[in-house]
Structure 1
Amino acid sequence: MSRLSNMAVRDIETVIHPYTNLARHRETGPLILNEGRGIHLYDDKGKRYIEGLAGLWCTSLGYGNEELVEAAAQAMRKLSYTSIFSGKSHDSAIELSEKLKELAPCPTSKVLFGGSGSEANDMQIKLTWYMSNARGLPKKKKIISRQRAYHGVTIASASLTGLPWVHADFDLPIANILHTSCPHHYRFAEEGETEDQFTDRLAKDLDDLIQKEGPETVAAFIAEPIMGAGGVIIPPSSYFPKINAVLAKYDVRYIADEVICGFGRTGEWFGTTTMGMKPTSISMAKAITSAYFPMGAITIEEELYQAMLDESRKLGTFGHGFTYTAHPVGCAVALKTIEIYERDKTVEHVRQVAPVFEKRIAQFADHPLVGNARAKGLLGALELVADKKTKRAFDPKKAIGALCADILQENGLIVRAMGDAVAFCPPLVITADEINEMFDIVAKGLKILEERVLKENLRN
């Protein structure tokens, strides 16, 4: 630890870092970032990086946006805080709820706010159970998620998440959470199985699971339009239409997790529209404020709202809420963020530059280490493999994805490795020239990685 800076040592001795090998971190120390401007970050030594993952899929308008800073400052001066418990409210909460109802891709009666995407999906579980009880269906409590899904890290939302390291030794998932097949054709299709055949099988898997568990016990199904932390998994185009048809057969609440895809990432306001989903409710967070303030939200359909009214009459109150529900500063920042999206035609900009992004990712498909190159809008990934022909993965202990991310970071590009899938999700304001600069770094990094793999015989 002696070679580390004083600040790095202080970090090691005080800060717990999520999704970090804490033992390894004691040896390597942190990357300390001091400033952000546009799509760039600067570390404590002044080195510049392209932020290739928009922070954590969230800084959609980039860094240092003065309009958002000023919106937050004005809100703090006007009304630094108030709760909305016991019937209190404020203008920003009302205006933001109206705006989200207008934008939502599903019929929406009301909006309920939280502080994050994890909280949003936690509320989805809680209110699904609440509605079943209100309807006199106490057995209708099971919620179906998918393998490799990511829906958060609270006890309940982490249970929805379908990734082993989120469950291992946390005693998760909790009861009533089920997982069906992952729609990753490249990795999970059977030999010779077309995309249509694959999606037929996955739709049948879901139908069979509902039948096995009993439709009277299944309350909800939740899905990301495009899986994020599971590896940027883009379902075949026929997948959601077939899933929609299965769910339409049963009395199942249909939740779209728009935490990553929402607010323009896929070239539409919501990924639900891009991917052809027909949800009952959506969860939102991240780009709702361009990550300038922690905020999450869910849409409340009329049937759920009526159930909430019934329960309030019975119990005397709606027994849920957070200290920071509809925080006035967060609501003001969200309103300004959405105003900027509309004024600057951010969604249209994504559509304009997405072909450059998608083309550059596709060009890596022929690289010896790339098994699958995939992208939609400004969201994509390269899946690294030891053998392209057989799709054989690298030994997980060799952490090739993490090695690739480290090499790219050394060369000025911050990305995220999820296993051996390396993800790209830049701020939505990125230009075509900046996209090309980003992927020029990727090309250089893959060359360095290939040399390391060969030199150190990492394929074996």
Structure 2
Amino acid sequence: MHPITAYGAFERQEVTSTVMSRGEGVFVEDRDGRKKLDAFAGLYCVNVGYGRTEIADAIAEQARKLAYFHAYGGHGTEASITLAKMILDRAPKHMSKVYFGLSGSDANETNIKLVWYYNEVKGRPEKKKIISRWRAYHGSGLISGSLTGLPLFHKQFGLPLEYVKHTEAPYGLRRPDPEMSDEAFVDYLAQRLEELIAKEGADTIAAFIGEPVLGTGGIVPPPAGYWDRIQPILKKYDILLIADEVVTGFGRLGSMFGSEHYNIRPDIITIAKGLTSAYAPLSGSIVSEDVWSVIRDGTNTHGPFGHGWTYSAHPLCAAAGVANLKLIDEMGLVANAREVGGYLKAELTSALVNHPAVVEVRGEGLMCAVELASLKDGKSAFNPSDTVVPRIVAEIGRKGVIARPMPQADVIGYAPPLCLTKSEADIIVGATRDAIEEFSFPA
């Protein structure tokens, strides 16, 4: 069973099935020998590019020495200890500890349990609610799927769970009044957040979670000043801040972390994807010193922290992470994401700015999106049954580039490996321009 797949259509062979066999740099090749530029880095995750033998060798060496040992009860391995130190060396300076998992979804499940435990220890068991944002993506578990603000991940599952509340997304193109300035839009978002806090009761709200840049919800950078307005509100009401950096961590925005990029001071940071460049599954919850000290002291009274995964801090995955972070530094990929990402956005803008169906080209670092709208008025969404963006993305694929049709939006998404060159960016731009220009948009 494939994830995020229409199973009936798949069995009827209405959904394209591709079996990949190899990759090198920013290119992948299927088993029939068709080579394509992967402009979405798998799922935002192959930051260093494909075929990096340094990581493969590190995994193999670790497997020969010690394939597995658990992390329960204070156990560890040299690989996991080394990686935790490397993460903290790159993270905001007030962060203190790393709790390892395997996926961004399980890391956000861990985060909520950390937050709940923290408030139990502080004698505030009623502080349980989590505020997320519509169009956010935080995973597809029970809590993490509830935090996600996309109906696709809620319907037929009975989600979101009652503890999760959603507020407005900082999606500038969809502001309630098109004439509203960025400053006024940020004021509106702050007001809506305070209204939700007042409605629910600040003494019942434990945390606010947000991606520095909205990812799966449309690849949307926040308007200027957004995070500067939101953080004082959270502090005022004693609400913890979780920065979900599963996508933005380790260089994608042209900064090591999105928290650094937007001057965010989180209590917990979620990491995954770029931590190992997906060469092995690994995630983490980076916990601030303030949160850590409360949790640590809580175990003096309540006994061991009752949460764990069998594969937490798995040594093979940790070895991959160590090799990956070394490569990010050695290859200068953070700076490259900043430079080539700016180039990609500028070239896409230049190529598409005059097309009547293109509403906006936006992005930050090596996250970029092209949003389309109906030709009828240049604003309305297309009828979903017309599958406009999926068909355009399929044509981009036939032209040798893998892009992503973003869910529940008329948006083409790009998040290529951080090793992308300007000449490779030109390939993405050319395929996108030609596919859009050749497409017959519905009247």
* TM-score interval (norm. to shorter): over 0.9
Is this contact kept in 1: 2:37–2:400, CA < 8 A? Answer: yes
Cross-structure match for 1:442: 432
Cross-structure match for 2:398: 410
2:169 is the alignment partner of 1:182:
yes
Once residues 320 and 416 of structure 1 are traced to their aligned partners in structure 2, the CA distance between those partners, rounded to angstroms, is 35
2:9 is the alignment partner of 1:24:
yes
So what's the TM-score if we normalise by structure 1? 0.93
- 1:118-152 deviation per Cα after TM superposition (whole angstroms, max 9, x unaligned): 11111111111111111110111111000000000
- 1:386-439 deviation per Cα after TM superposition (whole angstroms, max 9, x unaligned): 137541110112121111111111211111111311100000001011001111
Identity of aligned residues (%): 36
- Higher deviation after alignment, 298-307 or 413-422: 298-307
Once residues 368 and 195 of structure 1 are traced to their aligned partners in structure 2, the CA distance between those partners, rounded to angstroms, is 24
Cross-structure match for 1:238: 225
Once residues 48 and 18 of structure 1 are traced to their aligned partners in structure 2, the CA distance between those partners, rounded to angstroms, is 24
Matched ranges for 1:375-454 at <5 A: 375-387=363-375, 389-418=377-406, 419-449=409-439, 452-453=440-441
Cross-structure match for 1:12: none
Q: Given the superposition, is the C-alpha separation of residues 219 and 447 from structure 1 closer, same or farther in structure 2, using an over 3 Å criterion?
A: same
Q: Among 237, 241, 245, which residue is 1:250 paired with?
A: 237
Once residues 93 and 147 of structure 2 are traced to their aligned partners in structure 1, the CA distance between those partners, rounded to angstroms, is 22
Question: Partner of 1:42: helix, strand, or coil?
Answer: strand
So what's the TM-score if we normalise by structure 2? 0.96
Q: Among 78, 97, 101, which residue is 2:88 paired with?
A: 101
- Higher deviation after alignment, 175-184 or 367-376: 367-376
Is this contact kept in 2: 1:150–1:228, CA < 8 A? Answer: yes
- 1:84-107 deviation per Cα after TM superposition (whole angstroms, max 9, x unaligned): 112211111111111111111251
Is this contact kept in 2: 1:81–1:329, CA < 8 A? Answer: yes
Is this contact kept in 2: 1:51–1:415, CA < 8 A? Answer: yes
Cross-structure match for 1:368: 356
Once residues 436 and 428 of structure 2 are traced to their aligned partners in structure 1, the CA distance between those partners, rounded to angstroms, is 13
Q: Among 173, 177, 180, which residue is 2:160 paired with?
A: 173
Is this contact kept in 2: 1:361–1:380, CA < 8 A? Answer: no
Whichever residue aligns with residue 367 of structure 2, its letter is L
Whichever residue aligns with residue 423 of structure 1, its letter is G
Is this contact kept in 2: 1:387–1:393, CA < 8 A? Answer: no
- Higher deviation after alignment, 254-263 or 438-447: 438-447
Deviation at residue 358 of structure 1 after TM alignment: 1.6
Deviation at residue 248 of structure 1 after TM alignment: 2.2
Matched ranges for 1:108-147 at <5 A: 108-147=95-134
Deviation at residue 83 of structure 1 after TM alignment: 0.3
Is this contact kept in 2: 1:144–1:179, CA < 8 A? Answer: yes
Cross-structure match for 1:267: 254
Once residues 22 and 59 of structure 1 are traced to their aligned partners in structure 2, the CA distance between those partners, rounded to angstroms, is 27
Question: Partner of 2:334: helix, strand, or coil?
Answer: helix
Question: C-alpha root-mean-square deviation of aligned residues, in Å?
Answer: 1.3
Q: Among 30, 50, 56, which residue is 1:63 paired with?
A: 50
Question: Partner of 1:366: helix, strand, or coil?
Answer: coil
Cross-structure match for 1:11: none
Cross-structure match for 1:13: none
Structure 2 residue ranges without an equivalent (≥5): none
Matched ranges for 1:68-107 at <5 A: 68-105=55-92, 107=94
- Higher deviation after alignment, 245-254 or 67-76: 245-254
2:206 is the alignment partner of 1:219:
yes
Once residues 200 and 405 of structure 1 are traced to their aligned partners in structure 2, the CA distance between those partners, rounded to angstroms, is 36
Count of paired positions? 438
Is this contact kept in 2: 1:32–1:44, CA < 8 A? Answer: yes
Once residues 191 and 37 of structure 1 are traced to their aligned partners in structure 2, the CA distance between those partners, rounded to angstroms, is 44
Is this contact kept in 2: 1:255–1:281, CA < 8 A? Answer: yes
Once residues 131 and 224 of structure 1 are traced to their aligned partners in structure 2, the CA distance between those partners, rounded to angstroms, is 22
Is this contact kept in 2: 1:371–1:388, CA < 8 A? Answer: no
Once residues 339 and 349 of structure 1 are traced to their aligned partners in structure 2, the CA distance between those partners, rounded to angstroms, is 15
Is this contact kept in 1: 2:268–2:286, CA < 8 A? Answer: yes
Question: Partner of 1:190: helix, strand, or coil?
Answer: coil
Is this contact kept in 2: 1:106–1:279, CA < 8 A? Answer: no
Whichever residue aligns with residue 367 of structure 1, its letter is H
Deviation at residue 356 of structure 1 after TM alignment: 1.1
Whichever residue aligns with residue 322 of structure 2, its letter is L
